Amino acid sequence: MNPIINNRISIIGVPLDLGADRRGVDMGPGAIRHAGLRERLQVIGYEIDDTGDIMVNRPDVCQVNGESLKYLDEIEKVNNELCQKVNEEMGKGNFPLVLGGDHSIAIGTIAGVLQHQKKLGVIWFDAHGDINTVETSPSGNIHGMSVAVSLGNGHERLMNIGGREAQLEPAKVVMIGIRDLDPGEKVLLKKLGIAVYTMHEIDIIGMAKVMEEAIGIVSDGTDGVHVSFDMDVMDPLHAPGVGTPVVGGLTYRESHLAMELISAANIVTSAEFAEVNTVLDNKNQTAKMAVALIGSLLGERLK
């Protein structure tokens, strides 16, 4: 086990797929559980409390309610409940492990963690920046806005989740594996000075060096580190069942090495894994990959 982590892990499922255009990631939490998550973590030495799933209503028709954001009402409700649940489980001294669902769930997860760790570092693994705002989003999909909201740049109702003071510091956020950004995202990332390691940097300096630098950034002066892992950061060859696949992503070994190095640094205090889409998957391959990566992050070793 990783010594910084309490040996009690609270699994929180969020079967939400309203933040994206493509349906199917709502089955992600069940797929990850089915792939043997509890058993794998118990072998490592953890006590597991599976709290079940946050309830999600699924309207048949896309709701905008005069807003430009799709399904704002339901996504706000789900993330409010998720924030409260993460806060509650951390209050018990448990490590929150959140299973998505689309990546809009990060809004609630991070807001909940910030109730306990005011100075929070975040390592964001994703093919996308997820730092669009209402003004810059070409789609109105909230799963592409999670980072912006958590930094205090977003719709008022989403930023109110967990309270306005529950915000990240741009200097303590690192993005890894990025290879698909909208024009407005590029502008905001540059404005905020967020550290971004695209696949270009990973190819040139290697994952070990990237993680050394990333861990240094997020652990300097912080109370803990949250890992937010969108499975589409991996190449579709290794993780075909994701909400928004983009070719040219992380390999199997690069992904595991990243998790292993974070684990060895003894800094991680919460985590979420998102965007497993069983409709697009091959024999639950991507969910099994998520379980393996969670194992590496939480201290699984060969010797």
Q: Which of 53, 130, 260, 272 is catalytic?
A: 130
Q: List the Cα angle 93/96/102 in 5-degree steps.
A: 160
Separation CA 171–CA 194 (nearest Å): 6
Which residue in the list 230, 235, 254, 260 is annotated as catalytic?
A: 230
Question: Of 26, 76, 254, 275, which one is the catalytic site residue?
Answer: 275
Among the listed residues 128, 155, 226, 256, the single catalytic one is: 128
Residue 256 a catalytic site member: no
155 catalytic residue (yes or no): no
Burial 280-300 (b: 16+ CB within 10 A, else e): bbeebebbbbbbbbbbbbbbb
| 126 counts as catalytic | yes
Counting other chains too, the contacts that 149-153 makes at CB distance below 8 Å and 24 or more residues apart are 149/107, 150/106, 150/107, 150/110, 150/111, 150/122, 151/192, 153/188
128 is catalytic: yes
223 is catalytic: no
Q: Are 120 and 217 in contact (CB under 8 A)?
A: no
Per the residue annotation, which of 103, 155, 226, 256 is the catalytic one?
A: 103
178: CB partners within 8 A, 6+ apart? 126, 127, 128, 129, 196, 197, 198, 199
**In the annotation, is 226 catalytic?**
no
Q: Which of 143, 155, 226, 256 is catalytic?
A: 143
CA 238 distance to own-chain centroid: 18
Identify whether the C-beta of residue 41 lies closer than 8 Å to the C-beta of residue 53.
no
- Tell me the catalytic residues: 103, 126, 128, 130, 143, 230, 232, 275
